[in-house]
């Protein structure tokens, strides 16, 4: 049954219920939630760590499973914050990574009969420590395994939190941890009240049917809360693990990290003509444009082109050589519930971009055109598939396993994905699980301007890696000088606030009132991020070590809903977090 296990995490405890860090019981009522958490951490000991198995560093080749019969389990939920973890039961033992729950001495005896060649991590109570087989590689022990311990131990396993007790040694890694706002000087009640009030304004005004907010401070997620429902019929509550269409946040999480990697490897030069790498520009009006100008939206490119109009006849019907309601050749790619596009249409898009007019003068003009060609350019230079390269060099080892293009093709179900708009312009149907952006859709869902889906937590991992100047989980993804180069304003003399791919605050941001500020009055000049048309937003402030992520489907059921912008909600939410900094210390 356990022959193929390569890593098993065993938990020896009774069934627990899910609750927050704020639950209290017994004599601990006299302690603050933060004091309770610290006390729980002090109770945990790592009594064995053979061959420095922990912390788990390499995630891209790790297949982790957890064996349990419980319907829900706090330990499983916390493990899944770090890497894909398969829940197994007695009827499902095919995974090569499993988790088994041992609740009593008789079940403990079963450990001795399991495959001794595999690696094991056991969680147990002190009174059972001496009975753990020598074949087990790592052992955590505590007086009890309550809710707080089950939230803390996985963080220790992945190196996000220190182990202060025990004979075994373990290093820490710069991965996201999960703790209370008070641990970083923020009053939880004040933060919740400020954010809840603004979100409820958005919900009551129908700015969006539901949303998520994640706040991380100094490497710890201190607030992650869901609000409302996925649609206005209020049948499906928003859940933390749900996938959103990131829209233009794709620009800084899809092609940009790969372009940064190519630049620091000197395979591309920001100040050489882009036509040196993209041959279709060589005989066009764009032959002298540089990659620096393009990434900073300073090249004079149009904002967008309606590529999809070329797929239709004057009658409104699709041209059958481009789009059909069934897959008619291997090159046809599905881009909605009932439509497939000819892969060769990519060439028409590239041609349209090459022939597009330029602005009369080079000035700041946000444009997504170049991001359509970046995936193919990256594939040509790397000699690797764009989507696979993104996974290979970034998302897989970050543990950001939910970050994918075309999630339905990756096995995700619609109930795991937040729906977006009813597309009345192009596809004439509800868009759910397919990229909202029409241009990215006609590219088969894989583009550089849009197309990535993922959870809020996994977006936080990518943004935290950026904020840590290219480091995360004990690994260097990008060099510090590369991150600094790409997150700096490139053309301030032209009143262009943009970095290279990254968005930046208004140049005179701190002089503005909240209503005129972007993204918030208190955001530092070194901060960076991006927003998305569907209602997504991600922003990192290295000066404050503050990360803010907002996820919503404000385009449901129509993009004509502009209330998210009219109410100025994202800047207000962002500023509210800054206002709450150090509030706990001041109020104590």
317: Cβ–Cβ under 8 A, 6 or more apart, which residues? none
Tell me the three state secondary structure of residue 332.
Answer: strand
Between residues 123 and 275, which one has the greater pLDDT? 275
Express each pLDDT in 167-194 by its tens digit: 887 889 999 999 999 999 999 999 999 9
Torsion of CA 407, 408, 410, 415, to 10 degrees: 80
Express each pLDDT in 405-430 by its tens digit: 999 999 999 999 999 999 998 999 99
pLDDT at 144 over 80: yes
Spell out the domains of the chain, with CATH numbers in brackets. Answer: 7-173 (no CATH), 244-584 (3.40.710.10)
pLDDT at 119 over 90: no
**Choice among 116-130, 192-206, 227-241, 324-338 with the minimum mean pLDDT:** 116-130
Q: What is the mean pLDDT of residues 452-460?
A: 98
pLDDT at 343 over 50: yes
Tell me the three state secondary structure of residue 48.
Answer: strand
How far, in whole angstroms, is CA 221 from its chain's centroid? Answer: 13
Express each pLDDT in 225-266 by its tens digit: 999 999 999 999 999 999 999 999 999 999 999 999 999 999
Q: How confident is the model at residue 99 (pLDDT cuts 50, 70, 90)?
A: confident
Give CA–CA dist 498/486, Å, rounded. Answer: 10
Tell me the three state secondary structure of residue 211.
Answer: strand
Express each pLDDT in 382-392 by its tens digit: 999 999 999 99
- pTM beyond 0.85: the answer is yes
pLDDT at 1 over 60: no
**Strand order across the 340-342 sheet:** 323-324, 340-342, 332-334
At residue 544, the pLDDT reads 97
Q: How confident is the model at residue 331 (pLDDT cuts 50, 70, 90)?
A: confident
Express each pLDDT in 554-574 by its tens digit: 999 999 999 999 999 999 999
Mean pLDDT of the chain: 89
pLDDT at 26 over 80: no
Structure tokens at 355: 């022939």
pLDDT at 498 over 50: yes
Rounded alpha-carbon distances, angstroms, from residue 364 to 213, 288, 442, 523? 30, 17, 27, 21
Using a CB cutoff of 8 Å and minimum separation of 24, what contacts does 384-388 make?
386/255, 386/258, 386/446, 387/446
At residue 192, the pLDDT reads 97
**Residues in the chain, overall count:** 588
Between residues 406 and 582, which one has the greater pLDDT? 406
| Cis amide prior to 55 (ω within 30 degrees) | yes
Q: What is the mean pLDDT of residues 536-551?
A: 98
At residue 4, the pLDDT reads 43
Express each pLDDT in 369-379 by its tens digit: 999 999 999 99
Q: How confident is the model at residue 65 (pLDDT cuts 50, 70, 90)?
A: confident
Q: What is the mean pLDDT of residues 264-290?
A: 97
Supply the angle between the helices 369-382 and 345-355 in degrees, to the nearest 10: 120
At residue 25, the pLDDT reads 45
The secondary structure of 482-546 as a DSSP string is HHHHHTS-SBGGGTB---SSSB---TTGGGS-GGG-SS-TT--TT-EEEE-TTS-EEEEETTTTE
Q: How confident is the model at residue 165 (pLDDT cuts 50, 70, 90)?
A: confident
Express each pLDDT in 473-490 by its tens digit: 999 999 999 999 999 999
Tell me the three state secondary structure of residue 111.
Answer: helix
CB 471 within 8 A of CB 462: no
pLDDT at 24 over 60: no
- Could you tell me which of 302, 526, 559 has the C-alpha nearest to residue 425? 559
At residue 212, the pLDDT reads 98
CB 213 within 8 A of CB 550: yes
Q: What is the mean pLDDT of residues 64-76?
A: 76
């Amino acid at each position: 049954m356990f022959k193929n296990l390569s890593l098993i995490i065993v938990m020896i405890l009774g069934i627990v219920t899910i609750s927050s860090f704020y639950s209290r019981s017994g004599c601990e009522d006299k302690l603050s939630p933060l004091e309770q958490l610290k006390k729980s951490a002090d109770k945990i000991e790592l009594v064995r760590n053979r061959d420095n198995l922990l912390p788990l560093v390499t995630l891209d080749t790790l297949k982790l499973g957890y064996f349990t019969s419980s319907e829900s389990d706090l330990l499983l939920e916390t493990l899944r914050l770090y890497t894909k973890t398969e829940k197994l039961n007695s009827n499902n033992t095919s995974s090569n990574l499993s988790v088994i729950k041992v609740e009593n001495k008789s079940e403990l005896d079963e450990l001795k009969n399991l495959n001794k060649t595999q690696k094991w991590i056991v969680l147990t109570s002190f009174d059972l420590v001496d009975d753990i087989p020598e074949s087990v590689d790592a052992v955590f022990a505590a007086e009890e395994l309550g809710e707080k311990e089950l939230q803390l131990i996985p963080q220790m396993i992945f190196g996000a939190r220190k182990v202060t007790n025990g004979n075994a040694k373990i290093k820490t890694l710069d991965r996201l941890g999960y703790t209370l706002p008070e641990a970083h000087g923020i009053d939880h009640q004040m933060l919740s009240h400020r954010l809840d009030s603004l979100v409820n304004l958005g919900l009551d005004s129908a700015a969006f049917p539901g949303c998520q907010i994640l706040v991380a401070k100094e490497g710890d997620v201190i607030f992650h809360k869901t609000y409302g429902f996925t649609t206005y019929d209020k049948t499906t509550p928003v859940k933390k693990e749900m996938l959103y269409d990131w829209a233009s946040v794709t620009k800084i999480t899809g092609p940009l990290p790969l372009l940064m990697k190519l630049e620091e490897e000197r395979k591309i030069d920001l100040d050489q003509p882009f036509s040196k790498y993209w041959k279709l520009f060589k005989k066009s009006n764009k032959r002298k444009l540089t990659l620096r100008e393009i990434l900073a939206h300073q090249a004079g490119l149009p904002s967008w082109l309606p590529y999809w109009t070329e797929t239709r006849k004057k009658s409104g019907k699709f041209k059958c050589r481009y789009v059909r309601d069934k897959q008619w050749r291997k090159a046809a790619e599905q881009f909605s519930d009932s439509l497939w596009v000819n892969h060769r249409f990519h060439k028409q898009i590239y041609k349209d971009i090459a022939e597009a007019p330029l602005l009369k003068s080079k000035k700041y003009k946000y444009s997504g055109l170049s991001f359509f060609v970046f995936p193919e350019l990256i594939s040509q230079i790397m000699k690797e598939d764009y989507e696979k390269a993104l996974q290979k060099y970034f998302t897989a080892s970050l543990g950001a396993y939910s970050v994918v293009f075309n999630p339905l093709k990756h096995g995700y179900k619609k109930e795991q994905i937040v729906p977006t708009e009813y597309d009345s312009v192009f596809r004439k149907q509800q868009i759910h699980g397919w990229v909202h952006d029409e241009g990215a859709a006609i590219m088969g869902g894989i583009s550089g301007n849009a197309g990535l889906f993922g959870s809020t937590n996994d977006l936080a991992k990518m943004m935290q890696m950026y904020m840590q100047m290219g480091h995360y989980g004990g690994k260097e993804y990008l060099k510090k000088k590369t991150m600094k180069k790409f997150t700096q304003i490139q053309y301030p003399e032209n009143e262009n606030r943009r970095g290279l791919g990254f968005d930046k605050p208004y140049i005179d941001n701190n002089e503005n009132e909240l209503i005129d500020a972007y993204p918030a009055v208190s955001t530092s000049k070194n901060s960076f991020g991006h927003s998305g048309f569907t209602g997504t937003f991600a922003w990192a402030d290295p000066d404050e070590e503050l990360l803010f992520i907002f996820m919503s489907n404000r385009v449901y059921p129509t993009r004509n809903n502009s209330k998210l912008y009219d109410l100025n909600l994202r800047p207000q939410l962002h500023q509210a977090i800054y206002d709450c900094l150090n509030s706990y210390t001041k109020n104590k």
